[in-house]
Amino acid sequence: MNIINFHGQKYLAKDFIEFLRGKNALFLLSLSTTKTCEIPNITQAGIEGKIHLTPILDAEFLCSGEVRSIGDIAKTAKGVPTPALITRAIHLLKPFNNIELLNLGLTNSPKVNFFKIYDFKLKPSERIDLGANIEAETLFEMGVEFGKNYKTKSDYIILGESVPSGTTTAYATAKALGYNCDGMFSSSFKAHPKSLKNEVVNKALSNISSNMDIFEKLSKVSDNMLIFNAGFVMALMQNYKVVLAGGTQMASLLLVMNSIIEVMQGEIDGKNLALVTTKWLYEDENSDIKGLLELLNFDVLAYYSDFDFSDSQSEVLKLYDKGEAKEGVGAGGAIFYGYLNNLTKEQITKEVEGFFK
């Protein structure tokens, strides 16, 4: 099997993917900008000085195959292209039933027609070292409300994200909620800028205190994607099977859900929920997705898609195998969907290579 289960009950994990075999999926891409990404060297997910455009460009490329809000596709300083390429390749080979976009605070709206963009009239959140300034409780409730009313004809939902510097805010978020998660969060860099990241996170944590409630804490240290989606997913999974397509940011989202439900003295039945990531993220030595999931008080299934660029001749793509860029724009979840619809590693590799011709 090219989809590898690494967390959750064995039979349940097997049957979850068997049940989704061949089924159609809605791909929902949640987009947001935290000004944390403006801190020099905090992320390589984009073009320096224009990193706030990354989610916009990712959305444009995923939907249309073109980047419209700037001349070139979002890539890192070393030239590692966005994982949106992988998600787009899957969509070309075996189209998602639909792609929809959640605008959770961007500088501009993605320039695409016809594709539904849910606009929640949010601004990019502030740098977490300066206090983020998010109305967390309202935002969480917006997510719940949206999830309750959300309808799709698709068999299941894949929820991805594009949030530059999102691993930093995800780390700060989990830590602020009291989880022992040092060293467990990923980075878009191979050479992990740990000291800088730790400095930013510690600065962020200095703005919270133990007498704050959970939403007050989130307001100071988190990002819009995590807070909105916590509410959204909790409501959505009552009605649909949901694949959280991402790495440590999605794990942080689960931890936010875990903490909120604890405060509310409720329970989460994770049966309709799975996290799916890439092999690069799963095997990353500088983060620990498995460890993060073990911090949860509820059961959740998790998998990685067994895909890499070992079959490719492309030097640019090989950078993925070397640990630069690992996950994003739901790449791991997209491959999962592709594999469940009989796409092969060879086909996917070829399709991604096609973007460079």
Q: Site residues (CB under 8 A) for its own copies?
A: 11-12, 14-16, 18-19, 21-23, 63-66, 68, 91-98, 111-115, 153, 271, 341-342
Q: How far is the CB of 97 from its own copies (least distance, A)?
A: 8
Using the minimum distance from each CB to its own copies, give the nearer residue, 8 or 323: 8
Decide whether 75 or 94 has the Cβ nearer to its own copies.
94
Measured from the CB atom, is 21 or 290 closer to its own copies? 21
Smallest gap, in angstroms, from Cβ of residue 338 to its own copies? 12
Nearer to its own copies, 206 or 342 (CB): 342
Shortest separation between residue 96's beta carbon and its own copies, angstroms = 7
Q: Smallest distance from the beta carbon of 54 to its own copies, in angstroms?
A: 20
- The minimum distance between CB 190 and its own copies, in angstroms, equals 33
What string of H, E and C letters represents the secondary structure of the chain? CCEEEEECCHHHHHHHHHHHCCCCEEEEEEECCEHHHHCCCCCCCCCCCCHHHHHHHHHHHHHHCCCCCCCCCCECCCCCECCHHHHHHHHHHCCCCEEEEEECCCCCCCCCCCCCEEECCCCCECCHHHCCCCCHHHHHHHHHHHHHHCCCCCCEEEEEEECCCHHHHHHHHHHHCCCCCCCCCCCCCCCCCHHHHHHHHHHHHCCCCCCCCHHHHHHHHCCHHHHHHHHHHHHHCCCCCEEEECCHHHHHHHHHHHHHHHHCCCCCCHHHEEEEEEHHHHHCCCCCHHHHHCCCCCCCEEEEECCCCCCCCCHHHHHHHCCCCCCCCCHHHHHHHHHHCCCCHHHHHHHHHHCCC
Cβ 115 to its own copies shortest distance, Å: 6
Nearer to its own copies, 117 or 130 (CB): 117
Shorter beta-carbon distance to its own copies: residue 96 or 215: 96
